Copies of this chain bind each other. A is one copy, B any other.
Amino acid sequence: MIEKILLGHGSGGKLMHELLRDYFLPEFSITEALDAALLSEIPGRIALTTDSYVITPIFFPGGNIGELSVNGTVNDLSMMGATPLFLTAGFIIEEGFPLKDLKNILSSMSSAAKKAGVKIVAGDTKVVEKGKADGIFINTSGIGVIPDGVEIHPKKIKPGDVVIISGPVGTHGISIVSGRNGLSFDPPLLSDTKALNYLVDELIKASIEIHAMRDPTRGGLATTLKEIALQTDLCIEIEEDKIPVLSSVRGACEILGLDPLYSANEGIMVLFVSPGDAQRTVEILRKKGEDLSTIIGIVKEEPSGKVILKTKIGGTRLLEMLSGEQLPRIC
């Protein structure tokens, strides 16, 4: 019995067909091998996104590369207000990769897709020689449809908009790095990877006037806010003591010399909403289980393009984009 990926699994021939038949097709919404998936018409404006996942380790505290690759792409669509519909999945696998690990990853992708209400309809598998990749890399691309009337875009952000975070920051990044460094916590510190589309749905259903949303992944909350400040030529002012951080994340950050504001997140979003809807946004998010959701700041006219952090001790600090590489291969 074959227990590991062989180069022949990427040949396009018999072995690849067996791999698809036995591993991929049972987990995905693919019933026939065609060059492209045939979908029905999608009435409405389309959103399209892509992300490759190279996280190490492949199995990490709280998840694995499979569910991460589904949730991450679902979230990218959600952040534009789109309802995620269909995903593609492209695999680059290193020769010798254990088939049982592949099975676990595919099964996680399948569960994550079901949970998020999306279908994986097209796929591709390539195999490279031992030493030419690192286990498995996954690309997922996604299509979503933007409901009528939904207009979510950074250019809609206005002075006075309230900045809301849906959950604690830095959890994904710090959980991965803690794992890599052999730190353990009680209760264990797990990645926050999850699909955010149901939360966004709730807010849209409640007619919350969302101007923009982002999931602060690589580069963390600080980098994301700085990007938005630059895109909008506005100032974002946030308060350090409002930003939720799990105590285990805070502890690990102190040990590792890392900053939770620059650490990756995979299950939270930052929202810019009109002031009149801010309180209601937090209430809805909390009702849906996001207990730590809270208002963290406000948008101002000046100084343009800046992110100002009002620190706990009463000072202010300008937040810039992450420089260099804090945590390689975090997603």
Contact = CB atoms under 8 A, between A and B. Distances in A.
Interface of A: 6-8, 10-17, 32-54, 75-77, 79-80, 82, 86, 88-92, 121-124, 126-129, 131-134, 137, 139, 141-144, 146, 153-154, 214-215, 217-220, 223, 227, 231, 262, 264, 320-329, 331
Contact of A325 (B7, B121, B141): B7
Contacts of A227: 17, 33
A157 to B, nearest CB: 13
A141 to B, nearest CB: 4
Q: Is the interface of A mostly helix, strand, loop or mixed?
A: mixed
B46 A325 contact: no
A123 B121 CA distance: 20
Contact of A46 (B42, B90, B231, B322): B42
Contacts of A77: 35-36
B54 A47 contact: no
Contact of A121 (B36, B48, B80): B48
Contacts of A82: 36
Contacts of A91: 52
Contact of A122 (B49, B128, B154, B326): B49
A36 B47 CA distance: 6
B34 A154 contact: yes
B322 A137 contact: no
A11 B141 contact: no
13 contacts: A6-B325, A11-B326, A12-B264, A13-B326, A35-B75, A35-B76, A35-B215, A36-B47, A36-B82, A41-B44, A54-B126, A133-B137, A143-B143
Contacts of A36: 47-49, 76-77, 79-80, 82, 142, 144
A129 to B, nearest CB: 7
A183 B39 CA distance: 44
A190 B218 CA distance: 40
Contacts of A146: 38
Nearest to A123: B50
Contacts of A47: 36-39
Contact of A323 (B13, B144, B322, B327): B13
Given A37-B49, A88-B50, A227-B33, A217 B12 contact: yes
Given A36-B77, A129-B328, A13 B46 contact: no
Given A47-B37, A48-B86, A134-B128, A92 B326 contact: no
A220 B12 CA distance: 8
